[in-house]
């Protein structure tokens, strides 16, 4: 009976792998969208910050120099439970520092929810809300692209998430390669197929009327994924704007990275429990492929967890010098199937780097160290499963001060 369950699990995971591989093929070709509209939408630009005095100034300078009419956007720094000089620095640049003190409700989701209520009560109202993290840098044409998509009728837009410091360590390089992969073969493929994209926590734009109607309501450890699922439930499909670049600082060390990813996985388990079955049922009832895709994405964390357990059982069974109890599905298939599956997985990452125009030999060399980074998701997810009820938000410290010109001039 246990062996039968193991085989069923392997079949399901193989289905998910083939499904995602098939979807990813639609991201290989990039469809150019040259639609241009005159600047007309007004934006409230929100910067989420918790003790970010070292990096927030560089982002504010960056935002103040965007290629968009200055009268059409205002900058608000959300100083969330800050105990440093973040608010003082923000005010020194002439932008609004909105200070929030609530040690009981910590985390970006709660801070955003509070800030939106503050924003709705202000005399001046805006057509859309844009959100960044304090450690980001933003392409100068970011609001131009958001304006274009809003004018085309899109209500929720995600920018292209890139890495601000890809060459700082093998960990940041691994993040960068992973994000290039996700942008091209997860996000762009779904945009090309007119499916829903998924929010990435920063570089996000929301139509104000939709936000007022829905409310934020996303206060888990992965507020971006939670809000994505709420949108899909309502039939609102977030879209990717591939040209709107956001550069996000990544942790330098494996320890800091593990802590950040553990928080993501803990939050992902929460979202999976809340949204998988409602979205799956809605996809069947409404015959909605988009909702089915979202349901499948919501449980990807369980796929990793179950895959880790199944792999451990199979390897353990093979190592123990006794008659094998469990059977791999590859036992019933020709040898070339396993070889093809592994080859397809391996080839995708360098292919993405080529498609994204990465030229640095050093970055391609990091493909080998990235194997360790990718495998580390397995024990992190395993531990997250048993600690998923931990709702305490943990802050990732940011110290890498760069200017947009420095980031864009570095050829990777």
- As a whole number of angstroms, the distance between CA 183 and CA 164 comes to 15
Query: What pLDDT, on a 0 to 100 scale, did the predictor assign at position 104?
Result: 83
Q: 82 — phi, psi (to 5°)? A: -80, 140
Go through the domains of the chain in sequence order and give each one's CATH number: 11-29+127-388 (3.90.550)
Query: What pLDDT, on a 0 to 100 scale, did the predictor assign at position 320?
Result: 64
CA–CA distances in Å: residue 12 to residues 96, 234, 289, 295? 51, 28, 18, 14
In degrees, rounded to 5, the angle at the alpha carbon of residue 223 between the alpha carbons of residues 395 and 13 is 105
In degrees, rounded to 5, the angle at the alpha carbon of residue 233 between the alpha carbons of residues 294 and 106 is 85
Q: 383 — phi, psi (to 5°)? A: -65, -35
Q: What pTM did the predictor assign?
A: 0.91
- As a whole number of angstroms, the distance between CA 129 and CA 138 comes to 15
For tokens 């091209």, the residue is: 184
End-to-end Cα, the chain, rounded Å: 51
Q: Which residues of the chain fall short of a pLDDT of 50?
A: none
- As a whole number of angstroms, the distance between CA 96 and CA 89 comes to 10
DSSP reduced 3-state for 47: strand
User: Where would I find the H helices in 134-187?
Assistant: 142-151, 170-181
Query: What pLDDT, on a 0 to 100 scale, did the predictor assign at position 366?
Result: 95
């Amino acid at each position: 009976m246990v062996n039968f369950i193991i085989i069923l699990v392997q079949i399901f995971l193989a289905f998910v792998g083939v499904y995602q591989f098939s979807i990813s093929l639609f991201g290989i070709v990039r469809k150019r969208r040259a639609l241009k509209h005159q600047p007309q939408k007004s934006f409230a630009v929100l910067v989420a910050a918790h003790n970010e005095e070292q990096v927030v100034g560089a982002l504010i300078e960056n935002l103040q120099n965007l290629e968009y009419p200055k009268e059409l956007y205002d900058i608000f720094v959300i100083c969330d439970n800050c105990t440093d000089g973040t608010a003082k620095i923000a005010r020194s640049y002439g932008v609004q520092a909105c200070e929030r003190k609530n040690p009981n409700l910590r985390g970006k989701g709660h801070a955003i929810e509070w800030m939106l209520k503050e924003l709705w009560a202000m005399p001046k109202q805006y057509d859309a809300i844009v959100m960044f993290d304090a450690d980001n840098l933003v392409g100068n044409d970011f609001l131009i692209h958001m304006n274009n998509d809003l004018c085309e009728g899109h209500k929720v837009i995600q920018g292209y998430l890139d890495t601000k410091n890809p060459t700082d360590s093998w960990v940041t390089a691994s993040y960068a390669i992973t994000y290039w992969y996700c942008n091209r073969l997860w996000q762009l493929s779904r945009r090309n197929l007119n499916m829903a994209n998924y929010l990435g926590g920063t570089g996000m734009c929301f139509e104000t009327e939709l936000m007022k109607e829905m409310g934020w309501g996303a206060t888990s450890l992965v507020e971006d994924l939670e809000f994505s699922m709420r949108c899909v439930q309502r039939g609102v499909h977030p879209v990717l704007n591939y040209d709107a670049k956001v550069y996000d600082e990544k942790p330098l060390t494996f320890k800091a990275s593990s802590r950040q990813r553990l928080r993501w996985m803990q939050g992902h388990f929460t979202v999976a429990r809340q949204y998988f079955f409602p979205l799956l049922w809605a996809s069947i009832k409404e015959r909605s492929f988009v909702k089915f895709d979202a349901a499948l994405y919501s449980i990807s964390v369980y796929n990793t967890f179950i895959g880790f357990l199944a792999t451990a059982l199979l390897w353990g069974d093979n190592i123990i010098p006794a008659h094998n109890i469990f059977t791999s599905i590859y036992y019933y298939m020709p040898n070339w199937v396993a070889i093809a599956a592994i080859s397809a997985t391996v080839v995708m990452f360098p292919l993405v780097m080529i498609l994204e125009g990465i030229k640095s030999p050093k970055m391609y060399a990091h493909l080998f160290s990235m194997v360790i980074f990718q495998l580390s998701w397995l024990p992190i997810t395993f531990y997250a499963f048993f600690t998923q009820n931990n709702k305490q938000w943990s802050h990732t410290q940011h110290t890498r001060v760069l200017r947009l010109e420095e980031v864009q001039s570095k050829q990777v």
